[in-house]
Amino acid sequence: MNTQHWINHFEANTRLNHELRLPETPCELPDQTREAFARSIAIFQLGESGGGTRLRRYTRSIASLENLKGYQRAVDLFVAEEQSHAALLARTVGHLRGTLLKKQWTNSIFRWMRDLVNLEFNIQVLLTAELIAEVYFGLLSLRCSDPVVQTVAKKLLRDEMGHLSFQRDFLFERLKTLIPAMQRLWRWQFQAIHFVTAAVVAWDHRDCLRALNVSPADFRARAVRCWQSFQSRLERRLGESETHARQELASTSGYNRSSSAAMQSPVS
């Protein structure tokens, strides 16, 4: 994994979030819409505000792997970027005259799930949230008329797309070590967890989605398309890597055969 690329990326990009200037116009949305956005964005704000303690603990367990050198540093910077998202979303909730949350049930389930298995599963649950965030911030940036919400949603959408690539790079490194049957099993459970999560989020954020003129079914369909796009890119890379490994093996065994034939020829 090219961890140095991600270290450079996060170092440059997170700074932009700290410096991002938001329009200074007051919120002019009707009260009902404003409140629906404020509540919904406050839930995402809580989700972004974790300190990454468990994730950092897990990354220590793979710190010695040669192909993941520098991953710990990249994860530290990734967590810092998520915290910069929490700060931007807190400013947005303030702009919408909403209240920040300390606890919320979907967020508690997410946190509980992330600690269930191992680092790969932790990343997968995080990734599930990021795939949902891609749809959510995409819709906010396109359909919310408030300029502050639009500005923040656009920036977060771009960042989350970067996070999806970061997680894909990591999962590629881990999944390529699994046999195809295990890769299929991983795909199945990832798809199932993503599907259930999208349904729960669509229901929990239904007032906000209604204000954006998006039905829960439409939100779920968009979420499924994002998952398919992510998964097909990952599978393409895994397929290419397997073909490459097979070709290398074939050329090595071909070389071994020809070299042993060359060694035998003087004798025969």
Contacting residues toward Fe ion, per CB under 5 A: 48, 82, 85, 130, 160, 163
- Which of 48, 169 has the CB closer to Fe ion? 48
Please, are residues 192 and 227 in contact by the beta-carbon 8 Å criterion? Answer: no
What 3-state DSSP class applies to 178? Answer: coil
From its phi and psi, is residue 213 left (phi > 0), alpha (psi between -120 and 50) or beta? left
Please, are residues 206 and 216 in contact by the beta-carbon 8 Å criterion? Answer: yes
- Which of 163, 194 has the CB closer to Fe ion? 163
- Say how far apart CA 176 and CA 227 lie, in whole Å: 19
The helix (H) or strand (E) run that includes residue 99 is: none
Smallest distance, Å, CB 250 to Fe ion? 40
- Say how far apart CA 210 and CA 197 lie, in whole Å: 19
Smallest distance, Å, CB 186 to Fe ion? 21
Smallest distance, Å, CB 132 to Fe ion? 11
Smallest distance, Å, CB 48 to Fe ion? 5
Please, are residues 101 and 41 in contact by the beta-carbon 8 Å criterion? Answer: no
- Which of 33, 121 has the CB closer to Fe ion? 121
- Which of 38, 152 has the CB closer to Fe ion? 152
